[in-house]
Structure 1
Amino acid sequence: MKYWHWVFSRIKRKLWWQAVLYGLLGVATALAATGAERWLTWQLPFDVSREAVESLLSIISSSMLAVTTFSLGAMTSAFSGAANSVTPRAVTLLMEDRVTHNVLSSFIGAFIFSIVSTIVLKTGSYGEPGRAVLFVITVAVIGLVVMQLLRWINHLVRLGRVGTTIDRVEDATRTAIQQRLSSPYLGANPWFDSDTLPEGATAVRSTQIGYLQFIDIEALSKLCDAHDLQAYLPLNSGNFCYQGTELVWLTGQVDDELLEKIGTKFVIAPSRTFEQDPRFGLAVMAEVASRALSPATNDPGTALDVIGRQTRLLSQWAEGRDDVEVQYPRLHLNPLREADLFEDAFMLLARDGAGLIEIQLRLQKSLQALQTIGNAAFRRAAREQAEMAQQRAATGLTHDCDKARLKAALAR
């Protein structure tokens, strides 16, 4: 993914740009009706009084202000509920919800349209054809608002609920996995032996503290081509960086100016995101299950649901592609490790559910199923997690009958 594509995808998930677009559309629509006398060449069969149009616009402006305020309050409550009952990391997905953005932007656009139309109407800029056109547009806006209200009511019923939030996290994680599988090494060569550094390599180090969000692979490749360099990338998106962390190792002739320029191709931010970071989605799903298993929540059913979802997501990863063409031959990337993915997905579940037989049984069944698919590293990672879960269960289960049941299940 190019840097500007990544920036645009980030902006596209924000509410403000869509609200601005709908607002400008409302202004343009209100002003377009002033030219009705010039481009409307036929005689309209009806005339609309100024008072009739003004009353409709007044209804829209007052109601849209109230509805928008109420909707913002409902959003805040849903976000707070999701943060308390699921995990704060999932709230970002709710804030990027497209239905919410469309509905709120429609309300704001209708409000701005009514205000601008009322101002222009008061100045006497609308003639008889203009008022008729404005009346038709106003009726259409009312119809649009009613449709969006019905859509919003149906959406509010599910917004912030545990099941809906988990669905969004799973969808975001699945998308990140699919994107990574389409380019497992981001177009670079796989660097499997990342513990052995190339001889004479120079490191570009981080000057910030935070999480690596994005690597501008294409721009980095162009710099390597221009200066005859080989670049070795030890980190993936989602890795935590501090001042002095090695972002990339370079072989070839480099100077301080070039090192600084290459350092700008790495975006480091205070928090992780789901884009380019499949591990983050798996970790968030595990957090949901961990909170469900806490004594305050006591909801093992949600944890069992998460185990099934994690198994489904990792099964997709097991179908990964290794025969991907290398687009940037001068770059070498340390690939995502299956052991790290399994740790993100199941370690919290195995720890917090160590004393619950239903969690341990489902966990062992899932890990056993995952040991039958994927490559050798994938199966080995599943087996290691299963063994660690057994060790935790051996000390976590307090009743002999539960231990015997788990042992019998493992024997089968």
Structure 2
Amino acid sequence: MISKTLLYFQRLTRQLWLRVVLISLCSVLALALAPLLTPMLPEGLSHRFGRDAVLPILTILASGMLAVTTFSLNVMVSAYRTASSMSTPRVYRLLLEDTVTQSVLATFVGGFVYSLCAIILFRAKVYAPESAIVVFAMTIFVVALIVIAILRWIDHLSGLGSMDHTLRLIETRSRTSLKQQAKRPCLGGKPADSDEQPEGALPIPARRSGFVRFADMARLNEIAAEAGAHITMHRAPGDFVLRGRPVAWAESGDESLCKEAAKAIEIGDVRSFDQDPVFGLTLLAETAQKALSPGVNDPGTAVEVMGRLERLLWETVSGDPTEADCMFEHVSMVPVSPKLLLDSSFAPIAHCGKEDPFVMKWMQQALTALSSHPNKQLANSATDMGKELKAAP
């Protein structure tokens, strides 16, 4: 299982500013290497390419990349806001992690930093005249990278902000979370029958109010093993907890163990995909709910969402969670039930689309298909929900 440190590193790599900083640093480093590479070149080349051949190109790059970066940022923000208004506001945080957009914008900013720094170094006479050929070769390489980035950006803009792109992004991220949940139903811990307080157990209080975003199961297991205790998660990732209320229970532990265990459970203002397989299904359901609202009246999008939900549940829900391998013997939690997955996805859509026969027909078809799922809990839940919808007035 992923540790808290590795989780923070993964989150850091999803930030736009990190890619911009890294590519900008690479640009500056390349310019710093130019004087070192100059003595390795034949003397005849330095007479063919001087400062006058390089500076005009660098000037064009500096002015052009600044304009392109500003324009691209405006397009990105506008597209993301449009996608959020069409689907659900919570998808905005997922859109910000789009790697294609981050790489393209980082390339544009890196090209601007490279050309501007090169101009400054030439004007300050830091570079010898012989270094112009090295800078010229680097500039050609930078131009090639920028052209490739522009082509990627043009292709990406054709779908950026559209409903198809947004739904595909949510489904892809949801599939990853659901597969991880199927592989480790209890995040690698032991399955618990109930999250109620065990007899004689001490509460592990939440350090702040908010959503449980991440539980460092390896750290919790280490803490419990050292103390000869057992920790039961009372609140799973995605649940809301108030500060001071129990987020877990510690059997055979003391106050110091509870304080250390509380530090291994991250609580934040918003939910996260990292260990919360229900979150993605909730976003898809919210998108269908908005499509079925009177102001939008788009049952086609709701039907498409139900198709994606049906596909996700059919392909990712596994068998009995008690049969999964246990990595952390000293930590347990209640596994995410297939019924919860079904209630978080189809139930909200049924509530908003109950007056539309077209939508309800598709939902009945989806539930009928899921009722034959190999997982008996999911199959029974789908059958029961289908019967409830038919019996509803």
Deviation, structure 1 residue 383: 2.2
Asked whether the equivalents of residues 31 and 117 of structure 1 are also in contact (C-alpha less than 8 Å), the reply is no
Deviation, structure 1 residue 354: 0.3
Deviation, structure 1 residue 99: 0.5
Structure 2 match to 1:18: 19
Structure 1 match to 2:220: 220
Return the alpha-carbon distance in structure 1 between the equivalents of residues 99 and 316 of structure 2: 27
Structure 2 match to 1:123: 124
Name the amino acid aligned to 2:382.
Answer: A
Asked whether the equivalents of residues 47 and 128 of structure 1 are also in contact (C-alpha less than 8 Å), the reply is no
Return the alpha-carbon distance in structure 2 between the equivalents of residues 42 and 50 of structure 1: 16
Deviation, structure 1 residue 228: 0.7
Higher mean C-alpha deviation, range 104-113 or range 257-266 = 257-266
2:283 equivalent to 1:290: no
Return the alpha-carbon distance in structure 2 between the equivalents of residues 278 and 305 of structure 1: 20
When residues 389 and 245 of structure 1 are mapped into structure 2, their CA distance, relative to the original with a 3 A threshold, is farther
Q: TM-score, normalised to structure 2's length?
A: 0.96
Structure 2 match to 1:189: 190
Structure 2 match to 1:61: 62
Asked whether the equivalents of residues 83 and 89 of structure 1 are also in contact (C-alpha less than 8 Å), the reply is yes
Return the alpha-carbon distance in structure 1 between the equivalents of residues 223 and 60 of structure 2: 59
Asked whether the equivalents of residues 182 and 321 of structure 1 are also in contact (C-alpha less than 8 Å), the reply is no
**Which aligned segments of 4 or more residues in structure 1 are displaced greater than 6 angstroms?**
none
2:18 equivalent to 1:28: no
Deviation, structure 1 residue 136: 1.2
Return the alpha-carbon distance in structure 2 between the equivalents of residues 386 and 343 of structure 1: 12
Number of positions where the alignment pairs a residue of Structure 1 with one of Structure 2 = 391
2:328 equivalent to 1:328: yes
Higher mean C-alpha deviation, range 200-209 or range 165-174 = 200-209
Structure 1 match to 2:177: 176
Return the alpha-carbon distance in structure 2 between the equivalents of residues 70 and 253 of structure 1: 57
Higher mean C-alpha deviation, range 311-320 or range 207-216 = 311-320
Asked whether the equivalents of residues 4 and 216 of structure 2 are also in contact (C-alpha less than 8 Å), the reply is yes
User: What do residues 90-122 of structure 1 show as CA deviations (whole Å, max 9, x unaligned)?
Assistant: 122211111101000000111100111111111
Return the alpha-carbon distance in structure 1 between the equivalents of residues 187 and 348 of structure 2: 29
Name the amino acid aligned to 2:314.
Answer: S
Higher mean C-alpha deviation, range 101-110 or range 148-157 = 148-157
Secondary structure of the structure 2 residue equivalent to 1:363: helix
Secondary structure of the structure 2 residue equivalent to 1:221: helix
Structure 1 match to 2:50: 49
Q: What residue ranges of structure 1 are gaps of 5+ in the alignment?
A: 395-412
2:95 equivalent to 1:94: yes
Secondary structure of the structure 1 residue equivalent to 2:48: coil
User: What do residues 183-242 of structure 1 show as CA deviations (whole Å, max 9, x unaligned)?
Assistant: 1111111002334x3221111121311110000100111111111101111222111111
Secondary structure of the structure 2 residue equivalent to 1:53: helix
Alignment of 1:98-113 (within 5 A): 98-113=99-114
Deviation, structure 1 residue 150: 1.4
When residues 4 and 321 of structure 1 are mapped into structure 2, their CA distance, relative to the original with a 3 A threshold, is farther
Structure 1 match to 2:234: 234
Structure 2 match to 1:246: 246
Higher mean C-alpha deviation, range 38-47 or range 181-190 = 38-47
Return the alpha-carbon distance in structure 1 between the equivalents of residues 280 and 377 of structure 2: 21
User: What do residues 299-336 of structure 1 show as CA deviations (whole Å, max 9, x unaligned)?
Assistant: 11110011111111111233346432211111111111
Secondary structure of the structure 2 residue equivalent to 1:63: helix
Q: TM-score, normalised to structure 1's length?
A: 0.91
Name the amino acid aligned to 2:249.
Answer: W
Asked whether the equivalents of residues 351 and 389 of structure 1 are also in contact (C-alpha less than 8 Å), the reply is no
Asked whether the equivalents of residues 46 and 130 of structure 2 are also in contact (C-alpha less than 8 Å), the reply is no
Alignment of 1:122-201 (within 5 A): 122-195=123-196, 197-201=197-201
2:318 equivalent to 1:319: yes
Secondary structure of the structure 2 residue equivalent to 1:329: strand
Structure 1 match to 2:374: 374
Return the alpha-carbon distance in structure 1 between the equivalents of residues 194 and 225 of structure 2: 23
Asked whether the equivalents of residues 319 and 375 of structure 2 are also in contact (C-alpha less than 8 Å), the reply is no
Return the alpha-carbon distance in structure 2 between the equivalents of residues 284 and 253 of structure 1: 38
Return the alpha-carbon distance in structure 2 between the equivalents of residues 380 and 205 of structure 1: 36
Return the alpha-carbon distance in structure 1 between the equivalents of residues 338 and 38 of structure 2: 68
Deviation, structure 1 residue 49: 2.4
Structure 1 match to 2:86: 85
Higher mean C-alpha deviation, range 147-156 or range 213-222 = 147-156
Name the amino acid aligned to 2:368.
Answer: Q
Deviation, structure 1 residue 43: 4.4
When residues 391 and 246 of structure 1 are mapped into structure 2, their CA distance, relative to the original with a 3 A threshold, is farther
When residues 136 and 37 of structure 1 are mapped into structure 2, their CA distance, relative to the original with a 3 A threshold, is closer
Superposition RMSD in Å: 1.6
Q: Percent identity?
A: 32
Secondary structure of the structure 2 residue equivalent to 1:268: strand
Higher mean C-alpha deviation, range 329-338 or range 217-226 = 329-338
Name the amino acid aligned to 2:221.
Answer: S
When residues 45 and 61 of structure 1 are mapped into structure 2, their CA distance, relative to the original with a 3 A threshold, is closer
Name the amino acid aligned to 1:97.
Answer: D
Return the alpha-carbon distance in structure 1 between the equivalents of residues 305 and 77 of structure 2: 25
Deviation, structure 1 residue 285: 0.3
